[in-house]
């Protein structure tokens, strides 16, 4: 404590010097002793220095708004003794400490009317909140585990722990730590799996903000594992077409009955990879084999086989059309119409792959046939363009030969006339 007194005495004299050197009538009214003193006594990563990046401080709130006390006091012991000093909350007190403002709709409206005020209510329903309040578990996330403290940002600030690019790492502080999570018996591979997934690569490597971060599937404050019934909603938020086809498919009812999650069953949750056509069919690595056999009394195997063959045909047709058209392009022919048509073939292929989620051959086949027809037209027309190229070349050859012969004949004729005139 003597250190404090020394510090306090030092600060008092420092502040006195400050007061004396400040020209009369300037900013003194706004003097914030909390911040000034803490800035002076803390090292670089102390609360006051960090808080330069904090949205509360940036928006004009002070230390006193969270911690209480009295900004006009020049001594920490007096601050502690002041009415309303809240000090530092324990792990379990943090949610209420923050919610004093964030759940107060009238207060928040005065500052930022667009901000929701339901964080604590939602947090209470999450696995984190339930364990904190009901099981007094201090290892789960509270507000500051996720938001940091003294450098809290909104989700758009690049330094913010809740910025989409930083989120996986933030959740991973606990969820990737096998020792920390050991007592709960849940996997600790989410961040690793996610980072290598289509979603992780899109968001973290390409900066595609359309791809989900942890909170897009789990929610921010209601961080709970999406249950079977809500799963369709989670993936379907972004993959609406697949979700609609699935709802109309013969899998809808049995999946619900058996408790299979509707997308995760075939795609997994965190380690989602780019699907291949080989995922549908009757041989490895088709996912259909996980549940169906040739003699399970359903049309599943026949359906898988038909769809798989049809997709294979369309891929081959697209490839054939593509290489003929490339040849025509290389030879400098006018190919704009055919290039457009080839895009339609590609489109049909993409749609047919999405239609796999109807798990119904009659839905997939018409789209494949449409693609095959267009591919045939591209092939025919591209072949014709290539023929035309050779025909023109042949024509050009004949023309060149004819002109050469003509020139030679003319030359001979001129020489003869010339000689005759001289003789
Ligand atoms: C004259 C310097 C000075 C002023 C003014 C000051 N503090 Fe402190 N504060 C300190 C010191 C030094 C400590 C460390 C105390 C310790 O280690 O016992 C401290 C500790 C704290 C702590 C840690 C918790 C605790 O109670 O020890 C908080 C929170 C805090 N101050 C907030 C504030 C707020 C809010 C204000 C303004 C209302 C303020 N301080 C004003 C010097 C100051
Ligand atoms: C948005 C609310 C908020 C604001 C604003 C805020 N703090 Fe804090 N502060 C907290 C919380 C919450 C804790 C508890 C952190 C923990 O448990 O790890 C804390 C802890 C502290 C501590 C003790 C632990 C430590 O990190 O050393 C000090 C000292 C402190 N704050 C000082 C300050 C000062 C000085 C300011 C102003 C520059 C300030 N705080 C602004 C919420 C706030
Ligand atoms: C004294 C009231 C008060 C307390 C206590 C408080 N906040 Fe805030 N907080 C605000 C206000 C006001 C804003 C809005 C600033 C603005 O946008 O103008 C804000 C903004 C935020 C934002 C940014 C929201 C956004 O997306 O724009 C986050 C995140 C946040 N606070 C988290 C916390 C956390 C975590 C705690 C507890 C450690 C906390 N706050 C404690 C008043 C408070
Ligand atoms: C499990 C992590 C986690 C916990 C725990 C958590 N938050 Fe958040 N919070 C987030 C994320 C992530 C966002 C960013 C949402 C986005 O992308 O806009 C957020 C957003 C916010 C916002 C901005 C407004 C909004 O609702 O989107 C505020 C304010 C906020 N949190 C306050 C709190 C408070 C107060 C608590 C404690 C009661 C808390 N948070 C607990 C992760 C968390
Ligand atoms: C401070 C450490 C910590 C942080 C940070 C954290 N969590 Fe947790 N989380 C836990 C602990 C501990 C549990 C309890 C595990 C249990 O009960 O199974 C948990 C539980 C969960 C669960 C429920 C798991 C289950 O099925 O039981 C989900 C989902 C979850 N967290 C998601 C997240 C997400 C998403 C983030 C980041 C936005 C996050 N967590 C940040 C510690 C943390
Ligand atoms: C594309 C959606 C999605 C994303 C993104 C996502 N999750 Fe999950 N997560 C799920 C689903 C679905 C489950 C399984 C729920 C079930 O089986 O009931 C799950 C389960 C969990 C669980 C429970 C334990 C387990 O592994 O089954 C934790 C913890 C978790 N996720 C954390 C995270 C973290 C941390 C991130 C970010 C690195 C993340 N999740 C990203 C969808 C997602
Ligand atoms: C927030 C929106 C969002 C959510 C939620 C979401 N995804 Fe995605 N998903 C995307 C985006 C964007 C891409 C494209 C990534 C790319 O371009 O590589 C994608 C790609 C995919 C792909 C690869 C598609 C392809 O053609 O290569 C699959 C499979 C996938 N998601 C499945 C899922 C499943 C299963 C869930 C739920 C557990 C889910 N997604 C949740 C946005 C989302
Ligand atoms: C996780 C298990 C599972 C996977 C994987 C799966 N199915 Fe199924 N499928 C079922 C169940 C259960 C039924 C209902 C069986 C019944 O009605 O007896 C079903 C029914 C069907 C039906 C309707 C059969 C009928 O006769 O009415 C078709 C078609 C079908 N599946 C196709 C597929 C295809 C194609 C794949 C691979 C892309 C696939 N399934 C993958 C579990 C699965
Ligand atoms: C029974 C297994 C199964 C289920 C359940 C399933 N899928 Fe698929 N999914 C597949 C197969 C097989 C493919 C590969 C199709 C292809 O590329 O030929 C695929 C491909 C995809 C693709 C890439 C092709 C496209 O449509 O753009 C996305 C995205 C996708 N699935 C999302 C989902 C979503 C979202 C759900 C839940 C609504 C879901 N899947 C449910 C088997 C399944």
Give yes or no for residue 93 having a pLDDT over 70.
Answer: yes
Percentage with pLDDT > 70 across the chain: 91
Alpha carbon of 68 to ligand 3 centroid (Å) = 15
Write out pLDDT tens, residues 203-248: 999 999 999 999 999 988 876 665 545 655 789 989 999 999 999 9
pLDDT at 249 over 80: yes
- pLDDT greater than 90 at residue 380: yes
**Ligand 4 atom at minimum distance from 142 CA:** 5
Q: How far is the CA of 323 from the centre of ligand 7 (A)?
A: 30
Which residue CA neighbors atom 35 of ligand 1 most closely? 64
pLDDT of residue 26: 40
- Decide whether any atom of ligand 5 lies within 6 Å of the 140 Cβ: yes
Tokens read off for 300: 């599943």
Mean pLDDT of 404-418: 92
pLDDT for the residue numbered 225? 61
Average pLDDT over residues 15-28: 41
The whole-number pLDDT of residue 31 equals 74
Ligand 6 centroid to residue 186 C-alpha, Å: 11
Average confidence (pLDDT) over 344-370: 98
Q: Note the pLDDT tens digit of each residue in 129-172.
A: 999 999 999 999 999 999 999 999 999 999 999 999 999 999 99
| CA 152 to chain centroid | 22
Model confidence at 5: pLDDT above 90:
no
Handedness of CA 299, 300, 301, 305 (dihedral sign): positive
Q: How far is the CA of 133 from the centre of ligand 2 (A)?
A: 22
Q: Is the pLDDT of residue 343 over 60?
A: yes
C-alpha of residue 149 to centroid of ligand 9, in Å? 41
Nearest CA to ligand 9 atom 5: 263
What pLDDT is stored for residue 401 in this prediction? 92
Residue 99 has pLDDT above 90, yes or no: yes
The atom of ligand 3 lying closest to the CA of 162 is: 29
Q: Is the CB of 94 under 6 A from ligand 2?
A: yes
- Is 70 exceeded by the pLDDT of residue 17? no
pLDDT exceeds 60 at position 10: no
- HSE value, Cβ hemisphere, 13 Å, CA-based, for 203: 23
Residue 388: pLDDT over 50:
yes
* pLDDT over 70 at 396, yes or no: yes
**Mean pLDDT for all residues in the chain:** 91
**Residues 113-139: what's their mean pLDDT?**
94
Q: Is 170 touching ligand 1 by the criterion CB < 6 Å?
A: no
87 lines ligand 1 (CB under 6 A): yes
Q: What is the mean pLDDT of residues 180-185?
A: 96
Q: How far does residue 280's CA lie from ligand 6's centre (Å)? A: 25
Distance separating alpha carbons of residues 120 and 99, to the nearest angstrom: 6
Cβ of 115 closer than 6 Å to ligand 2, yes or no, is: no
Whether residue 422 has a cis bond before it, omega within 30° of 0: no
Place of tokens 């006594």: 41
Q: Pick from 83, 111, 77: which is nearest to 1 by CA? A: 77
Say whether pLDDT at 8 is over 80. no
Structure confidence at residue 234 (pLDDT): 87
Contact between 168 and 204 (Cβ < 8 Å): yes
Chain-centroid distance of CA 418 in Å reads 85
**pLDDT digit string, tens, across residues 254-289:** 999 998 988 999 999 999 999 999 999 999 999 999
Measured between its terminal Cα atoms, the distance across the chain in Å is 133
| Ligand 4 pocket mutation, candidates 92, 102, 124, 146, criterion most atoms within 8 A of CB | 146
pLDDT at 25: 36
pLDDT at position 110, please?
96
Q: What is the DSSP string of 206-218?
A: T--TTS--HHHHH
User: Could you write out the three-class secondary structure of 39-62?
Assistant: HHHCCCCCHHHHHHHCHHHHCCCC
Is pLDDT at 297 greater than 90 in this prediction?
Answer: yes
């Amino acid at each position: 404590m003597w250190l404090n007194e020394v510090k306090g005495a030092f600060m008092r004299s420092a502040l006195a010097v400050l007061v004396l050197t400040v020209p009369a009538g300037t900013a003194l009214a706004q003097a914030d002793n909390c911040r000034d003193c803490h800035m002076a006594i803390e090292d670089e990563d102390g609360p006051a220095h960090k808080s330069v990046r904090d949205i509360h401080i940036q928006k004009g709130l002070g230390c006193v708004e969270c911690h209480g006390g009295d900004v006009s006091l020049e001594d920490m012991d007096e601050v502690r003794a002041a009415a309303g000093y809240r000090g530092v909350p324990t792990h379990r007190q943090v949610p209420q400490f923050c919610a004093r403002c964030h759940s107060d709709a009238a207060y928040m409206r005065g500052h930022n009317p667009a901000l929701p005020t339901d964080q604590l209510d939602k947090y209470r329903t999450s696995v984190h909140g339930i364990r904190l309040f009901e099981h007094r578990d201090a290892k789960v996330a509270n507000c500051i585990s996720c938001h940091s403290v003294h450098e809290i940002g909104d989700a758009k600030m690049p330094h913010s722990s809740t910025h989409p690019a930083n989120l996986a790492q933030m959740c991973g502080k606990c969820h990737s730590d096998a020792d920390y999570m050991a007592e709960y018996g849940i996997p600790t591979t989410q961040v690793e799996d996610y980072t290598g997934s289509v979603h992780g690569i899109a968001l973290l490597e390409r900066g595609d903000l359309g791809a989900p971060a942890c909170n897009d599937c789990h929610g921010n404050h209601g961080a709970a594992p999406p249950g079977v019934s809500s799963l369709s909603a989670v993936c379907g938020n972004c993959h609406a077409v697949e979700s609609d086809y699935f709802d109309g498919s013969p899998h809808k009812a049995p999946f619900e009955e058996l408790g299979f999650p509707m997308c995760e069953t075939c795609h997994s949750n965190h380690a989602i990879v780019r699907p291949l056509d080989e995922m549908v069919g009757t041989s490895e690595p088709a996912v259909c084999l996980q549940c169906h056999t040739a003699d399970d009394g359903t049309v599943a195997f026949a359906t898988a086989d038909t769809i798989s063959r049809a997709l294979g045909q369309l891929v081959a047709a697209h490839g054939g059309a593509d290489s003929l058209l490339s040849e025509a392009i290389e030879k400098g022919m006018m190919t704009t119409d055919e290039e457009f048509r080839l895009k339609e073939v590609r489109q049909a292929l993409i749609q047919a792959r999405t239609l796999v989620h109807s798990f119904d051959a009659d839905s997939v086949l018409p789209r494949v046939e449409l693609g095959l027809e267009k591919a045939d037209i591209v092939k025919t027309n591209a072949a014709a363009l290539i023929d035309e190229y050779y025909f023109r070349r042949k024509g050009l050859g004949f023309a060149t030969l004819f002109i050469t012969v003509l020139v030679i004949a003319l030359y001979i004729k001129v020489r003869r006339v010339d000689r005759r005139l001289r003789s």
